[in-house]
Amino acid sequence: MNSISSLIGNTAAFPILKDWVFFNHAAVTPLPHVSAEAFRTYATQVENAAYLNAGWHDNVEKLRQESAAFLHCHRDEIAFVKNTSEGLCTVAKGIEWHEEDRVVTTNVEYPANMYPWMDVARRHGVKLVTVAEEDGPDGTRQIPIEKIFEAASVPKTRLITLSHVEFASGQRHDLFAIGRFCRERQILFCVDGIQSLGAIPVDVKAMNIDFLSADGHKWLLGPEAAGIFYCRRELLDQVQPLTVGWMNFVNARNFLQYDFTLRPDAGRFESGSGNTPGLLALRESIRLISEAGIERISQRIKILTDLLIDGLTKKGYRIASPREGTQWSGIVSFSSPTQNQEDIHRSLHTDHRIEIALREKRLRCSPHFYNTEEQIEKLVDLLPKN
């Protein structure tokens, strides 16, 4: 059992700590040792014995159950996808749209949660409505929840689709309030969860989420091309699979029966053989996070990001990430009013082996729970004053 305290600064558990101050979990995470070991074990098995006595299928099915527990749903509502886009496209392509339906989102979504809906608008005459990000009274960037509600209160609104945490600003949306709004009005609610799963508790039932998609390669500490898609059980029959292959159907392993009956669970969205090594690695990552405790992880990330913001403020940096109430996330977006952001980014990476990101002409720092206070202080110390 891994306690959160035993993992903080632990170079055996997180080998990246030996060589880098890595603060870019909102991009592509380094793998924990246990997850990388799952890849190595798989490779050794395939090399020496192919699939014989491997037990891969059983472990992938255990991941389905563990993912359901992580999201507070039933295992029948979980499908595995190769990336966040695949899950979102399953919703966008799978729903039967009507002309003049409305889809509401924001104008600062990551493209994975924009292009599928632009495609729906082009193909089906659906109206795509984007709510604009605004300057908050404290200088932060955010989308007011009242503006989302206003846009979605217009008749024929069919679906709201949002990132739980916006990738550039780090704003966390109040999914409890938005989900309640949607359920009361029979509006479908679709969530891009890639910037929150693994860093912030997510309860799809309490939040009244209908669909959620997230690849594992950010805060979940997993590999790329191994992700989770949730579809509320009551909606399974309303969403057609994105692709059709041998695994979508009830008698998948009775190869020559050709029973064209979709599986009764979310496995109907899995058309063929999946990324087995990636899913085995993702299982180890989710087990590590679950053992450490997602509530404790979230509290730890809050401590680290509060420490960062305190240091940034003292050195005169502008903070774009809203932090009031539950708007905070693991992403801190900031900028210097006097220095060149690209020069700062380059110097940190090249001269000091500190990895952050540059997004929307702002610096973006996204530490995870295993990072240390000393690493945060090192970053602040190395930033030029304004």
pLDDT single digits (tens) 360-385: 999 999 999 999 999 999 999 999 99
Note the pLDDT of residue 184.
98
Note the pLDDT of residue 171.
98
Q: Residue 47: in which H helix or E strand, if any?
A: helix 33-49
Q: 230 - beta bridge partners?
A: 78, 212
What is the mean predicted confidence (pLDDT) over 105-127?
97
Axis crossing angle, helix 175-184 with helix 145-152, rounded to the nearest 10: 20
- Nearby residues of 128 by Cβ (< 8 Å), 6 or more positions away: 102, 103, 105, 117, 118, 120, 121
Main-chain dihedrals φ then ψ at residue 343, nearest 5 degrees: -65, -40
What is the mean predicted confidence (pLDDT) over 211-222?
98
d(CA 297, CA 300) in angstroms, rounded, equals 5
- Give the SS3 label for residue 298: helix
CB atoms within 10 A of CB 181: 19
- Nearby residues of 131 by Cβ (< 8 Å), 6 or more positions away: 104, 105, 106, 107, 143, 147, 148, 151
Distances 22 to 15, 106, 168, 308, 351 between C-alpha atoms, Å: 11, 29, 18, 14, 14
d(CA 163, CA 135) in angstroms, rounded, equals 19
- The tokens for 117 are 């809906």
Contact 116, 92 (CB under 8 A): yes
Contact 92, 117 (CB under 8 A): yes
Q: Does residue 124 carry a pLDDT above 90?
A: yes
What is the mean predicted confidence (pLDDT) over 300-321?
98
Domains identified in the chain and CATH numbers: 4-32+293-382 (3.90.1150.10), 49-291 (3.40.640.10)
- The tokens for 86 are 């695949």
Residue by residue, DSSP assigns 221-232 as ---TT-EEEEE-
Average pLDDT, the chain: 97
Q: Does residue 183 carry a pLDDT above 90?
A: yes
pLDDT single digits (tens) 325-366: 999 999 999 999 999 999 999 999 999 999 999 999 999 999
pLDDT single digits (tens) 256-309: 889 999 999 999 999 999 999 999 999 999 999 999 999 999 999 999 999 999
Radius of gyration of the chain (CA): 21
What is the mean predicted confidence (pLDDT) over 70-97?
98
Note the pLDDT of residue 370.
98
Note the pLDDT of residue 137.
85
What is the mean predicted confidence (pLDDT) over 26-34?
98
User: Please, is 149 exposed, middle or buried when counting C-beta atoms within 10 Å of its C-beta (0-12, 13-18, 19+)?
Assistant: middle
The amino acid occupying position 28 is V
CA nearest to 239, candidates 159, 162, 157: 159
pLDDT band at 1 (very low <50, low <70, confident <90, very high): low
What is the mean predicted confidence (pLDDT) over 135-141?
89
